[in-house]
Chain A
Amino acid sequence: MGERGIGGLMAGYDRGAFFCELTSQRTSNEAEIATVLSRLGALDFADLSRRSADAERELFNLGITFTVYSERDSIDRILPFDVIPRVITADEWQVIEAGVIQRVQAINLFLYDVYHDQKILKDGIVPAELVLGNPNYRPEMKGVDVAHGTYAHVAGIDLIRDEAGIFRVLEDNARTPSGVSYVVENRTLMMRAFPDLMADLKIRPVDDYGIRLHAAMAAVAPKLAGQGDPQVVLLSPGIYNSAFFEHVFLAREMGVPLVVGSDLVVDDDKVFMRTTGGLERVHTIYRRLNDEFIDPEVFRADSLLGVPGLMRAYRAGNVALANAVGTGVADDKAVYAYMPRIIQYYLKEDAILPNVETFICREKEGLDYTLDRLDQLVVKPVGESGGYGLLIGPKASAAEREEFRAKLKADPANYISQPMIGLSVAPTLNSTSVAPRHVDLRPFAVTGQTTWVLPGGLTRVALREGSIVVNSSQGGGSKDSWVLGA
């Protein structure tokens, strides 16, 4: 991996032992990357800092925020934005795109099978209890047919890149993956704040996400009796939800109403929304509400966010839900470990994007391996998200490891472990310099009849030096992700 000639702002930059998304050797787009680097290097630190502060203020003023609620107040926080872009070459994107499409296909085939004949369980490829005993398995979905066999209409596949520059899947998100609004808004912001950095580079656009999403929602709508377009709505938990901005963004980009549960009503197994002119039929609901809240008749009876009778309408085929109910069984961290075998089983192909090597602690072999190497592995509870409850062995103290050992022994089926991967880094602005920080990548796949992947995706960056936790709840920020043209 040859280092590039870099200077100015980038002069003191040292990527260490990690793959760098800007300075490491690539297989294509060498000229464009050199251009980006030289332009970056020529920027003055004070100027860059000022533009960065302007960009963050603009995010705040535009309300591109997530909301933290205290007792009497609401505080809007932005996802910290790093102005130095992450660059993905045309070659790399080709692999990622094909790999994500393959993965989404396998997830949809798996979900269809799980809710129909359960062949994969009968053939012993995936342990039946892992699926049927999973809290996200929804028996209500057995025998329900969804349009085009699409369950995960919107999927976010979390990728990391190891020291050798190989992209690996860290996690699948097949329920309601969030963050796509930042992808589009970050780009808008970059185009305004850094036209000089982007000039003449062929960067794949991201602004047609809403149109693609709407097309997918229309493609899965129940067949209409008469003329006209299907009515798509976005169902949000409402303004108090921390991700409300994203719901607004998606409704706005699709040009559809943003509804809350109380705006909808089910009559004769059909869904309607309350308008100023009375009830109007709804055909597809892009819901940003978890399964347990969508229908108090079927799931949590105390849910005020959902719509009584929605499952009846859904099962009758009178409304499409995206994502489908019950997809959580496919993005479970324990099922993740079986994903290469799932891909092989349904598609007769090897996974284009490999998993991170994973040890399944519900299996004795995996548990023993993990207990022997707690100081080398990352151990994760399978049911948690957002980076909570995990042990990063090499970084934990002996006492923390011993405490975790007890938890692991008490409930081994709840854990998987993985080797510590040296996540790739990208140059990131901090208060005194530009320095390497670890990043991941979440590409977004939209599936109606076919799958489309938004070029790039959300690059999350761990802003603290040395940290590998990129989650926004734990000090993560984001970067614009540029997919360069071929």
Chain B
Amino acid sequence: MGNLLARSAGNLFWLGRYLERIENLARTIEITETFSRDSSARNWLSVVQINADEKRFFEKHAVADALSVIGFYMLDPDNPTSVPTSLQAAHQNARALRPILSIEMWEQVNVMRNHWRSVLASDLTGPGMARLCRRLRDQCQVAEGIVEGSFSHDEGWHYYRIGKTIERADQITRLLDIKYHLLLPSVEAVGSALDASQWNALLRAANGYQAFRRVHQGRLSPAAVAGFLLFSDSFPRSVTHCVRQVAYMLTQLRSRYRLSGGIAAEDKLDEMRAVLSDLTMEQIIDRGLHEFLDWVQNRLGAISADLRDGFFPD
């Protein structure tokens, strides 16, 4: 078997990214809803901010409240960062990959897209909202399970995993950033009871509550939670773990498949690993968590561009 079509490598990378993005969008909306039950509507604005969607959002909506933000991310086909847009993009990539994907994988993406088309604004109120977010998460995880059980671990699989893992790292920084926004006006409130419940919710949204508890028995501090999501070397969603995974898969592509692309990405990954292992959480908080998360997002974007240039140029 020869090397993969370059176009297919790109489709796999983006399929991985979009599926991960959809799962995380569902998580973000869910966690924001949880927060907003005992806090102000300002929470909803933070969702718009972390996606850097202020301009587009306020062209359409006067206020960022539950109704407008949920509609913008869950239903609006004109919003490039919405669930329907991401589903459509995942579907387009999967469609182009149909000769490569297992039939069940294609069926799953197809079903997800078709399901979402029947969602109405009225489904997004009250308990229906949580149900939908949950269904979306479940569907993404089913897709992941199908990939695990049917996608040969050949060259193409690496692009899928790299895309998915880069997106995962990017999304965890965004989830953390929500918390950062919430803390911004009252740094001294850190450690209050309310705060603890919100950090718990964040860990649950990242599906890392149990994993965190096992590492930090009985202690919960914002720095510990943020540190866990950034530095854990075993939790699958931590930035450190994701970066290491991407670096490993890139090495595989270059050695096992003798591909020459991706040198620039390799350098940037090395740099990220060095920074992540040198800095402590205290140093990051001192310098500004938000700035640090921004830097991570920025690096991940540059790595994506390098990978595109090296393996699947437009």
A interface, CB within 8 angstroms of B: 60-63, 72, 231, 234, 238-239, 244-245, 248, 251-252, 256-260, 262-263, 273-278, 280
Contacts and interface: CB of A to CB of B under 8 A. Distances in A.
What is the predominant secondary structure among interface residues of chain B facing chain A? Answer: helix
Contacts of B2: 231, 275, 277, 280
A252 B106 CA distance: 13
A460 to B, nearest CB: 24
A275 B253 CA distance: 13
Contact of B99 (A72, A248, A280): A248
Contacts of B8: 257
A260 B77 CA distance: 28
A263 B7 contact: yes
A277 B8 CA distance: 13
A60 B115 CA distance: 12
Interface stretch (B121-129, B170-178, B199-207, B256-264): B256-264
Given A274-B5, A277-B2, 17 more contacts: A60-B114, A61-B107, A61-B111, A61-B114, A62-B107, A62-B110, A63-B106, A231-B2, A248-B98, A256-B99, A263-B5, A263-B7, A275-B2, A276-B253, A276-B259, A276-B261, A277-B257
A276 B98 contact: no
B275 interface: no
A276 B114 contact: no
A148 to B, nearest CB: 26
A276 B110 contact: no
A62 B106 contact: yes
Contacts of A251: 99
Contact of A274 (B6, B114, B258): B6
Nearest to A278: B3
Contact of A276 (B77, B103, B106, B155): B155
> Which among A63, A239, A257, A278 has the greatest number of chain B C-beta atoms within 10 A?
A63
Interface in B1-17: 2-9
Interface residues of B, number: 29
Nearest to B109: A63
Contacts of A273: 5
A258 B99 CA distance: 7
A277 B99 contact: no
Contacts of B96: 238-239
B311 interface: yes
B215 to A, nearest CB: 38
A231 B1 CA distance: 10
Contacts of B3: 275-278, 280
A231 B5 CA distance: 13
Nearest to B155: A276
Nearest to B158: A276
A63 B110 contact: yes
Contacts of A238: 96
Nearest to A258: B99
Interface in B261-314: 261, 311-312
Nearest to A234: B99
